[in-house]
């Protein structure tokens, strides 16, 4: 009976029902959203299929830093303006916006970085 739907939403349903409906939806490529409330607290679960890729590791807002210098080497070395720690880690992916002098960086897809 779920076949005609693109998305199924369950609210305040028992775990057994969530698992049963989730298995049916996942098997048919139907997206599923589960929302529960427990007094003051709640939870939200989304299954958007195998094609959905989440790269947000911590749920925090993306980091941002001002750049003071970029070398023209290969690979280039980026120096941040702030004296304080920028919060980036090796393996993070970054993208550039509003870079003057090397405008081609503004059009690049996100790239993996190595913090020195």
Instruction: Using the predicted structure, report yes or no on whether residue 23 has a pLDDT greater than 70.
Output: yes
Q: What band does 81 get if pLDDT is binned at 50, 70 and 90?
A: confident
- Identify the CATH number of the domain in which residue 95 sits: 2.40.30.180
Judge if 11 and 39 occupy the same domain.
yes
Judge if 64 and 38 occupy the same domain.
no
Domain count of the fold of the chain: 2
CA atoms of 42 and 59, how far apart (whole Å)? 16
| Backbone phi, psi, residue 17, to 5° | -70, -40
CA atoms of 25 and 88, how far apart (whole Å)? 38
Angle at 96 between CA 91 and CA 99, to 5 degrees: 140
In a domain, 91, yes or no: yes
Position 100 scores a pLDDT of: 87
- Please give the residue range of the domain that contains residue 66: 60-116
In a domain, 1, yes or no: no
In a domain, 52, yes or no: no
pTM, rounded to two decimals: 0.50
Taking only the tens place, the pLDDT of each residue in 26-41 is: 889 999 999 998 889 9
Instruction: Using the predicted structure, report yes or no on whether residue 67 has a pLDDT greater than 90.
Output: no
In a domain, 2, yes or no: no
In a domain, 70, yes or no: yes
| Helix, strand, or coil (residue 104) | helix
């Amino acid at each position: 009976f779920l076949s005609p739907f693109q998305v199924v939403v369950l609210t305040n349903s028992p775990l057994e029902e969530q698992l049963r409906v989730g298995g049916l939806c996942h098997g048919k490529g139907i997206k599923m959203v589960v929302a529960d409330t427990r007094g003051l607290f709640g939870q939200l679960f989304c299954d958007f299929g195998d094609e959905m890729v989440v790269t947000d590791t911590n749920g925090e807002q993306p980091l941002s830093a001002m750049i003071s210098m970029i070398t023209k080497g290969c690979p280039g070395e980026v120096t941040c303006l702030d004296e304080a720690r920028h919060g980036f880690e090796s393996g993070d992916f970054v993208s550039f916006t509003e870079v003057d002098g090397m405008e081609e960086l503004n059009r690049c897809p996100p790239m993996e970085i190595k913090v020195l």
